[in-house]
């Protein structure tokens, strides 16, 4: 048996918060993140969906965005907005999917940036 004097207590100052319905551990306020950060999984998932939907539409599986939206069980506006991500510039896609630096842009804003010229997209997304 161990005695009470032999016990080591480790205290880590973390906070639990919910983000998008999921629990998330927040670091202390004085924490400085390392350079080894990954991209927001919601953005990566949205880009993957957009490319899959684009391929299916180009293959002739769906004639309209409305048909696609009904098939995947989402709203037509939502599908139409996310489908724009399939038309991001190659530089932005490369940096979002392969890069380690996090962006300050939200998924909603990223959908609207996709409608701009490729040269302007990189500046808007990465500053």
Which parts of the chain sit beneath pLDDT 70? 1-4, 31-39, 100-103
pTM exceeds 0.75 for this model: no
Chain-centre distance for alpha carbon 74: 18
SS (H, E, C) 11-50: CCCCEEEEECCEEEEECCCCCCCCCCCCCCHHHHHHHHHH
Span 13-49, pLDDT tens digits: 777 788 777 887 777 777 665 555 566 788 889 999 9
Structure tokens given for 62: 């769906």
């Amino acid at each position: 048996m161990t005695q009470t004097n032999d016990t080591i207590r480790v205290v880590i100052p973390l906070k639990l918060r919910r983000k998008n319905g999921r629990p998330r551990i927040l670091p202390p306020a004085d924490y400085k993140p390392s350079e080894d950060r990954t991209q927001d999984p919601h953005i990566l998932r949205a880009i993957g969906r957009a490319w899959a939907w684009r391929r299916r539409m180009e293959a002739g599986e769906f004639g309209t965005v409305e048909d696609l939206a009904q098939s995947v069980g989402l709203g037509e506006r939502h599908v139409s907005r996310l489908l724009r991500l399939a038309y991001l510039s190659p530089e932005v896609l490369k940096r979002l999917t392969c890069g380690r630096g996090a962006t300050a842009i939200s998924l909603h804003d990223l959908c609207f940036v996709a409608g701009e010229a490729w040269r302007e997209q990189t500046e808007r997304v990465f500053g």
